Each structure stands twice: as structure tokens, then as C-alpha cells.
Structure 1
Amino acid sequence: MTELRHESGAIPMFHEYIEAWGTHRTDRVLAFFADECVYENLARGEVYRGKDELGAWVAGAFAGIPDTALELTSLFASGRWVGCEWVMTGTHTGDLPDLPATGKSFSIRGATVAEVSGGKIVRAADYWDLASFLRQLGVMP
């Protein structure tokens, strides 16, 4: 059997990264990213470059969904790449861009593909179903 080789510590680091979302602290989430990172939120067609842009987005997400929780359901790594599936839950009690607070709870599945270098995430892309999220919030049939 051939063992997959991956950046040392990538899997434990990614477990900690997913757990950081549950702290609701932007600084804890950003600690896992390289200064010149690129983050893509593919469901919304958004790209954030660098920790400043990413930090503004993460802070906004926590403001809109202050009880955000992520549960890791699968995780793998190969070389510099890490992939995982997760379930995000929360209650939309604050405003998000173009989406006033609904007070409704949601549960959505998603996946992250990330490139890790030097123990930091240098590039990450999140894939999730925006339509399912909007239906659960009652803003889309």
C-alpha cells in the first residue's frame, strides 16, 4: 500500500481550523492563513485576497450568524492539498450583505479544498449550496 504524503501537520492543523470557527473569533480563524492568502467563497462568487479582506468577510459572517458551528465530516490530504467536508449550522440573527436578518436557523453541507504551505493556508475554496441556505432562511422558494 502506498501512503499519501502531505505537508507535515496539515491534517491536525485543519481540525483546529474547523474548530476555530466555533470560537466566533475572527483572529482565531485568520491565524491559520498566510498573510497573502486567497480565499474563494464559490457559492457567492467572491474572492478575498490577503488577511485584511478575508478578516472583514469573516467578521461579517460572525455578525450575521453569531452562533456559527462547523462539524467536520471527512478530511484528507495529499501533498500540499487538504480537502474536507463539513456541516455548518447557525441562526441568521444579524444582517449579511444583501440579506437582512431572518432569525431562522439553517444546516448546510459544504466542502473546502485548501493549499497549505509552511503550516498556513495559502489558498482555500469553499463549495456550498447557496440555494439550500436561502430556502432554509425563507427568502427563496
Structure 2
Amino acid sequence: MSSTRQLVTSLYKAYNDHRPDEVAKLYSPACRHRDIAAGAEHESPEQIAAGITWLFEALPDLHWTCDAILVDGNRAAITYELTGHLLNRFGSYKPAGQSLRLAGVQFVEVDNGAIISSTDYWDGGALHRQLSATPD
């Protein structure tokens, strides 16, 4: 059985390897992921993988740097910085190589060796300002 810290470390490795299939494997079949800024909610590993695939396609050099991982039993809080460049369409944002740098916090809850809940908080206004800008 994986520890909470091991699961979180594996989650961010799968993010950085751009492996939505590996991300999905870390979640319990009965799970929930909430993306607060985007107003999105996913309730299966397959939905979570589909959501992250769209992100990887738009920002193919996307990278998470974990600043801190705080673990309390079966729960973890992760502060991170997300960086990348918009190279493909992302919703209403047209690609022009815009740089993206976002700070965020994700809360993860684990049960029986799998993630059962994750909630991601980041600044939607910062994303909009950065992806709306015309690169120099």
C-alpha cells in the first residue's frame, strides 16, 4: 500500500511526464477532482485523465515544481508552481507561445492506497492575464 507522500510524489511525476494514464491509475474508481478556478469537477479517473490531456495538448512543455508537500495522515497539501507555454488552442486562448507561470495549492485525500479526492486552487485571473498577453 502506498503512503500519502508516495502517492502525491507519483501524481506530480505523472503530471510532469505528461502521462494522463498514470495520473488516472493513482485515483480510486470512486473519486472526485475539483478545479476551483476553472469551475470543473471530475468524478472518475477517466474524466480526470481527459481533463489533464487537454491541458498537456495546449501547453506541451507544462511543468509543475512542488514547493512544499505537507502530509497529515491520509491528507496532503501541496504548494506548486506551474510553468509552460501556450502552443495550441486552450479554450478561448489562441496560441502565440505565451508564457504561463501560476502558483497553486492542491489538497489530496487518500484511502486504501489511492487518491479519493483532490482539490486544486490557482489564480484564474493570472492565467487570463498571461494567456491573453501578446508575447514579445
Q: Considering the TM-score relative to the shorter chain, is it more than 0.5? A: yes
**One-letter amino acid matched to 2:95:** A
What secondary structure sits across from 2:106 in the alignment? Answer: strand
What secondary structure sits across from 2:132 in the alignment? Answer: coil
**Per-residue deviation, 1:8:** 6.1
> Matches of residues 33-72 of structure 1 in structure 2 within 5 Å?
33-72=27-66
**Per-residue deviation, 1:11:** 1.0
Instruction: State the TM-score, normalizing by the size of structure 1.
Output: 0.87
**Per-residue deviation, 1:99:** 2.6
1:102 and 2:96 correspond: yes
**One-letter amino acid matched to 2:74:** R
Q: Residues of 1 paired with 2:28 and 2:95: CA distance?
A: 32
**One-letter amino acid matched to 2:16:** G
Unaligned runs of 5+ in 2: none
Q: Which segment is superposed worse, 39-48 or 29-38?
A: 29-38
Give the percent of matched residue pairs that are identical in Structure 1 and Structure 2.
23
Which residue, 62, 73, 80 being the options, matches 2:74?
A: 80
What secondary structure sits across from 1:55 in the alignment? Answer: helix
Instruction: State the TM-score, normalizing by the size of structure 2.
Output: 0.90
Number of residue pairs the alignment of both structures matches: 133
CA RMSD of aligned residues (A): 1.6
